[in-house]
Structure 1
């Protein structure tokens, strides 16, 4: 069980680093154990696997959010088209941000259960940089082989894809894995009250609108994920 501070990224006592990847990547201990087993299995199959991002704290998520809200970073539609910031109302800005970036306090990356993965080999020479966009995981993309392997085997190690398909909330993210057992528990703990208390005390851009609409935003973007059961996991696969 995580504390409210841990759930919302305001504490990091629940996460650790591991020699299997760079020290800035942190996850809960059991998640690293499962990831290490998956990493070894992938290597045996000739597939390279690395973590681009693990735990992300509240302040980092707040900085991302505030930059986007104030038009200092681009906003995109669910299909990846860049939006005209000057033409958007507050609600449209919030929706555009939450399609690709989580609300501070509401990110699954706060829990230490979720990780963004990629194939490091195509990027090793430094001639291309990882963007974490669906095209990189589509056929012909540098991470396509990895995406196919994970589609077949991630569930063997306790992981699932919460954004396997676009369901009208968060855009499809073929790089985003979640450790089923601990993430399901954390999601149940992240109540509307916990999230509301966290945001009310923080300097988050658009806070008045967010608090007014928080129940709907939580339902539409935070709780609206693809199923974590094997039956649901195999019901379809659609990135892009």
Structure 2
């Protein structure tokens, strides 16, 4: 198998690709880890202490997040960061409300070991509670300098931001970086049948409704990303 290839189970997070622990509990594919560490060193020269909030994430972890949201055990927010009440919404509306910020299990780019959420440890006090909200990375936020630095330099290390702007699918995530040389390959390898098989084996309460909607969800929330030519 070519180094860039993943099996269907690896693409959907059920099995793990080859991984390396970059920071405690933060795993990436080795080539991605090397690129991240080079970027981390460059950022340090600019006074930025780049850290990973989330790296590789398996199917079970993603399932737990989405399942808790669909069951009302974990809050769901709209694009304005206001709580959304799922009760009374149609199954389609419930699923789309969750997918604004949380990918379906099997569909998260974090399954591939190529994607990571980053923050600047030097910009906040030691007891800071990381929120991963757009306001933190916008002008006046603690990670505004990091966001600007990433816009200028992340591409030099192979990274881009797939959710840099809102395109009608996933909300803006300025903290989310993707390693283009591998992630681009995996996005094309992740097919609708592969994802459907993963959903059907899940414990999601609405898996039948999700599968019925999957062709639309696949295009709107998975394939619909910002161009890979920039960050």
| TM-score tier (shorter) | over 0.9
Work out the CA distance in 1 between the residues paired with 2:191 and 2:206: 20
Q: If each structure's strand is expressed as a fraction of its own residues, which one has the higher value?
A: 2
Determine if the alignment matches structure 1 residue 216 to structure 2 residue 220.
no
The 2-side partners of 1:217 and 1:78 are apart by 18
Q: Which residue of 2 aligns with 1:101?
A: 102
**CA distance in 1 between partners of 2:111 and 2:216 (Å):** 21
Deviation of 1:80 after TM superposition, in Å, equals 1.8
Deviation digits for residues 38-84 of structure 1, max 9, x if unmatched?
00111112222110000000000000010000111111112322112
Give unpaired runs (5+ residues) of structure 2.
none
Question: In the TM superposition, what are the counterparts of 1:83-98 in structure 2 within 5 Å?
Answer: 83-98=84-99
Verify: 1:15 aligned to 2:19, yes or no: yes
Offset of 1:121 from its aligned partner?
2.5
- TM-score for the superposition, normalised by structure 1: 0.91
- In structure 2, the residue matched to 1:25 is 26
Residue 193 of structure 2 aligns to a residue whose secondary structure is helix
Cα distance in 2 for partners of 1:87, 1:215 equals 24
5+ unaligned residues in a row in structure 1: which ranges?
234-240
SS, match of residue 87 in structure 2: helix
- Residue of structure 1 in register with 2:170 after alignment: 170
User: Cα RMSD (Å) of the superposition?
Assistant: 1.2
Q: Deviations over 1:141-167 (max 9, x none)?
A: 111111110011000110000000000
SS at match of 1:26: strand
